[in-house]
Chain A
């Protein structure tokens, strides 16, 4: 471990940019990937087990660099076009009926999407494209040009929206669908590993600075034992551990009973079959 600490310090020292925040503990590789994505002006693609803090990363980056965060949540019905702009034809039609002022100005009915908003902003923005794999198979391909050149063209008004300050783009994926190669080639990729016990301790302490040492030690031991059971279906992740520690604290459970009685274990293990497995294995 002596070696590891040294490495970590040296990575931290080399980076003057993003270094995690008070609320978000990032591994050195993750910090490095954020800074390199910024330096190379490429989108950062983050993958990892659910609950390892992919979405929170963008918030932390925005906070650390003191920039505004724009979140574009992707759903299965999201189209790439919606992120750029939407032309509200129906509103214009209605307004035209009643001779409303300014109907001949199409620009009034062009509403910029999240990506458009980020490009058009006067300051540099952190843009989070959350769960890109939820969308249609073609979705990432439709955004290639826009993310590469950081500009798009509005047909109706013949206006080109070009990013005044290149936004810091962070994209998360749960690997539900495979992303197209052409898209991947343009990204910096980072896979969030499951945190080691040392890092995990740090993370929990960030959330609960006053957590009792013994409680945390016992809870973490049970937690990592559960993750080590081979036939568990859904492995508990960071967010579940944090919830559990919180529940244990609020419930005022005596620390000695954590390992034997497994109080509130439903917070950590969510599937019936898994509960059964945990009880049988007797962690």
Chain B
């Protein structure tokens, strides 16, 4: 049944599985939807969609498939845009209440209103706000939203639940929508690979030490004596250095995801994040805006963040040759008399484990991308994908 609907959902990017689809069939079989389209809408949504971010896609697919059954007149996208005036809300507030008080007694004939509404939809060709005839905001007719009329047809604007098409038309879940390609969860899972257990941390003793218990019990003449020990915890410390130069702007979503994933992975002993602009020089910045003065010395970093931190550098390694090799070519912040390349060498010398993640790495050898090739020779470089991240994590864990 409704197999077109199934395909339509999948083409809208909803990963409905056969199992879920069969569950829906079971629900239909058990007559859980009655014969109401609205009921079917909710039942189908709660079985097939598992995140409010996908409600909008579902609404669109539903509308496409079942539009023919819609009894009401269709409201064009153009008209909804005219009516999208939520910022007028506060302004309209006082006025609307006055109207409400006055018109409380007015009886409204629903049939009549609907008939007029359909007629006017047909005729209207421009935006109207505050009038008394056309569909618009803050007006006195029975149509539109934020108006003073009590018993009318609400078009767009704020809406409650109600019938399926009222919901679909309002597209109230549009704000939840996120079309991120990479799943944050996959990133988090990759970061879990970065584990190194140690029991020399400052935490309570909450685990049974079997060897210790046997030993103590033997010494105690066979009378049981329990020994507890500290559980083993992850001792990995992470230093994240992120490029926030202009060429990285297209990847800001991806970087944001990566950043979120690192901070959600709360199993690290410590995570430090600093930013740089195109290449690392004598200062690294505390915020992604890279404002002058809001920085720490890179040498301070070396002194205070010791060499057993694992370092992940994220950047596109697309410096101009003079940005990398010249001691005067750097245009953001001081460089302490060393070229960018020399600073990168210092990073390599100080930290035992460094990987470079590049969101737009060229495949294979790319001699025309001089800076990238040079950086590749310094640090192991991986493309910023789930796969690349996995490889980088393994690289950070293994011995040289």
- Which A residues have a C-beta under 8 Å from some C-beta of B? 1-4, 7, 10-11, 14, 27-29, 32-33, 35-36, 39-40, 42, 45, 47, 76, 90, 93-94, 97, 137, 177-178, 180-181, 184-185, 187-191, 193, 196, 198-199, 225, 228
Contacts and interface: CB of A to CB of B under 8 A. Distances in A.
Nearest to B24: A40
A32 B43 contact: yes
A178 B226 CA distance: 40
B110 A2 contact: yes
Given A39-B32, A42-B23, A137-B188, A97 B52 contact: no
B95 to A, nearest CB: 15
A35 B90 CA distance: 40
Given A40-B26, A181-B50, 15 more contacts: A4-B161, A7-B163, A11-B38, A14-B34, A14-B36, A36-B46, A39-B27, A40-B32, A45-B50, A76-B266, A137-B192, A178-B185, A190-B46, A191-B55, A196-B160
**Looking at chain B's contact residues, is the secondary structure mostly helix, strand, loop, or mixed?**
helix
Interface in B1-45: 15, 17, 19-20, 23, 26-27, 30, 32, 34, 36, 38-39, 42-43
Contacts of A97: 223-224
A29 B42 contact: yes
B265 to A, nearest CB: 9
Contacts of B110: 2
A196 B162 CA distance: 11
B46 A188 contact: yes
Contacts of B36: 10-11, 14
B149 to A, nearest CB: 12
A214 to B, nearest CB: 14
Contacts of A188: 46-47
A193 B161 contact: yes
A198 B158 CA distance: 13
A94 B213 CA distance: 12
B42 A32 contact: yes
A177 B189 CA distance: 12
Contact of A189 (B19, B49, B183, B224): B49
Contacts of B26: 40
6 contacts: A2-B151, A7-B163, A90-B226, A181-B50, A184-B50, A228-B86
Nearest to A6: B163
A196 B86 CA distance: 16
A45 B52 CA distance: 12
Contact of B51 (A11, A189, A196): A189
B39 A33 contact: no
Given A28-B161, A185-B17, A137 B189 contact: yes
Given A45-B50, A189-B50, A178 B183 contact: yes
Interface residues of B, number: 45
Contact of A36 (B32, B52, B86): B32
A187 B50 contact: yes
B50 A185 contact: yes
A200 B266 CA distance: 37
Given A11-B39, A36-B46, A185 B19 contact: yes
Contacts of A1: 151
B264 interface: yes
A29 B167 CA distance: 12
B27 A196 contact: no
A7 B38 contact: yes
Contacts of A45: 50
Contacts of B189: 137
B374 interface: no
B138 to A, nearest CB: 16
B335 interface: no
A84 B47 CA distance: 27
B129 interface: no
Contacts of A14: 34, 36, 39
Contacts of A10: 34, 36, 38-39
Contacts of A39: 27, 30, 32
Contacts of B185: 137, 177-178, 180
A189 B42 CA distance: 10
A45 B46 CA distance: 9
Contacts of A36: 27, 32, 43, 46-47
A180 B52 CA distance: 15
A137 B191 CA distance: 12
Nearest to B264: A177
Nearest to B184: A178
Given A27-B161, A185-B50, A228 B183 contact: no
Nearest to A183: B50
